[in-house]
Structure 1
Amino acid sequence: MTLKEQAVTFLGLHQPGNPVILPTVWDAWSAKLVQEAGFSALTVGSHPLANSLGKEDKEGMTFTEVTARIREITAAVTIPVSVDIESGYAQKPADLINGLLDAGAVGLNIEDSVHSEGGRLRTPQEHADLVAELRQAADTTDVHFVINARTDVFLRQDTGNPAERLESALTRLRLAAEAGADVLYPVGRHDPETLRTLCTDLPLPINAIGIPAEANRAALAESGVARVSFGPFLQNALTEHANTLIAPWR
């Protein structure tokens, strides 16, 4: 498939109540593992990618390092690839879109914590404006690049009590939807009621975190989730298993 066809296919996989499962990978080996297991698409996580490069998450990598690894991944598989680009590595939106397309990706996650500025949280409108710039840049190409707008408010302790965090997430993600996002990502592990509220009250498909060992796809589907990714948890589980295997050889 061309990148244009991959992007259309990828977006079409996002079905509320019938979520696409995107195992989160970090290199060509893990990407091939996912494709050979029969998954329809995958996502590249910043945390496992940084670990694989001996770097720190929260933009311890450069965008050049990220795109170099993405090229290796897209050369190894034929399914659509989306990339967690953290808060954008202080790059211009057009450079992010063009760099990822050149590397063979058809989607991205963009978060509202700005790691290059001490981890501050963008204002809701500021984050929406960045999403709008990414959409505008993508629209100059012939690929409908799939933009997954993420908010970190549930992960932070400086954003109020649980009810205030939920309201803040709803506000931020509604603005991101109006700005041109395709998918909304209220990152964090949520109780069923909160997740159902997010899926019901927001106007676009919702991305939720899945824990590989828990295999709760049915419960996430029942909540209305349209997309499930694993964050660092697949790599963490494999690390744990590898340690178990090699421990007797010490």
Structure 2
Amino acid sequence: MNQAQKAKAFGALHQKGNPVVLYNIWDAGTGKAVSDAGAKALATGSWSVAAAQGYADGEKIPLEALVATVRSITAANDLPLSVDFEGAYSTEKAGTAANAARLIDAGAVGINFEDQVVGGSGLHPIDEQAARIRAIREMTEAKGIPFFINARTDLFLKFSDPDRHVLLVDEAIERAAAYAEAGASGFFAPGLSNQDLIRRMCEAVRLPVNIMMRQGVPDVKTLAKLGVGRVSYGPGPYRAMMEKLKEAAEAVFAAAGQA
């Protein structure tokens, strides 16, 4: 498949009630491993990609390094790739679209694009975030790529207490509607874990809803019954792998009497 065909196929994987499962990767090697395990598509996690290169999350990894990582993944694997792009390294519409274009040129078929102010506090106003999404969509249409813009809201991560999430759902639904109107392909609500609220979100939002697996989140089969269209794992795979690597190294050094 060419890139446009991959992008179309990736979009088709997002079905409410039959979610595409994305086990997040961070380089070409992990992309190959997850592909061999049976993945239908690949997705990076920003925290994982940054940590693997020695950087903190929050757009600390240089954009050039991120683009190089994307290019290496797509060169080594034929599966569609979505990139966790945080705030697109720009608060301006033109810069946002130009930076997203660099990922398309590197072979990506989609992004996660978040509404929190990276490096600051709070969220971008709805109209400003919608305008940035619209700028990306106009750029992708000019390129002829049905790019998957997974519009992420950080409402539920900013207020991590699950008991407060019921007070945030209406705003999240409002943001989802505005983002959809601007050209978003999906709606990502990391941090949301309550089953009733997830069901409410899926029923109210016309876009496929993405839920991130973490402690307290229902299993994939349950999420499917709630109407979720995409399930991702964020930094979980990286953290688990690094812990296994550390344990294995500790065992080697202990056996060698060098612990």
What TM-score, normalized by structure 2, do the two folds share? 0.90
3-state SS, counterpart of residue 78 of structure 1:
coil
Deviations 1:64-101 (A, max 9, x none): 11101101111111000000110111171331232011
**Partner Cα separation in structure 2 for residue 215 and residue 151 of structure 1:** 20
Aligned to 1:18: 18
**Partner Cα separation in structure 1 for residue 199 and residue 206 of structure 2:** 13
Deviations 1:1-49 (A, max 9, x none): 1001000100000011111111111001100001111111011110000
8 A contact 1:63–1:89 mirrored in 2: yes
Aligned to 1:223: 226
Equivalent position to 1:164, from 160, 167, 173: 167
Aligned to 1:132: 134
**Partner Cα separation in structure 1 for residue 96 and residue 123 of structure 2:** 18
8 A contact 1:199–1:223 mirrored in 2: yes
Identity level (%): 35
3-state SS, counterpart of residue 35 of structure 2:
helix
**Partner Cα separation in structure 2 for residue 5 and residue 69 of structure 1:** 22
Aligned to 2:246: 243
3-state SS, counterpart of residue 113 of structure 1:
coil
1:144 and 2:146 correspond: yes
Matches within 5 A, 1:176-187: 176-187=179-190
**Partner Cα separation in structure 1 for residue 58 and residue 132 of structure 2:** 18
Structure 1 residue runs of 4+, over 3 Å off?
Answer: 157-161
Matched AA of 1:239 = M
Return the offset for 1:210. 2.1
1:123 and 2:133 correspond: no
8 A contact 2:82–2:111 mirrored in 1: yes
Root-mean-square deviation (Å)? 2.0
Gaps of 5+ in 1: none
8 A contact 1:128–1:175 mirrored in 2: yes
**Partner Cα separation in structure 1 for residue 214 and residue 29 of structure 2:** 20
What TM-score, normalized by structure 1, do the two folds share? 0.94
**Partner Cα separation in structure 2 for residue 199 and residue 96 of structure 1:** 30
Return the offset for 1:125. 1.4
Return the offset for 1:158. 9.9
Matched AA of 2:134 = A
Gaps of 5+ in 2: 254-258
Deviations 1:84-132 (A, max 9, x none): 110111171331232011111000010011214x234101111111111
Equivalent position to 2:155, from 150, 153, 163: 153
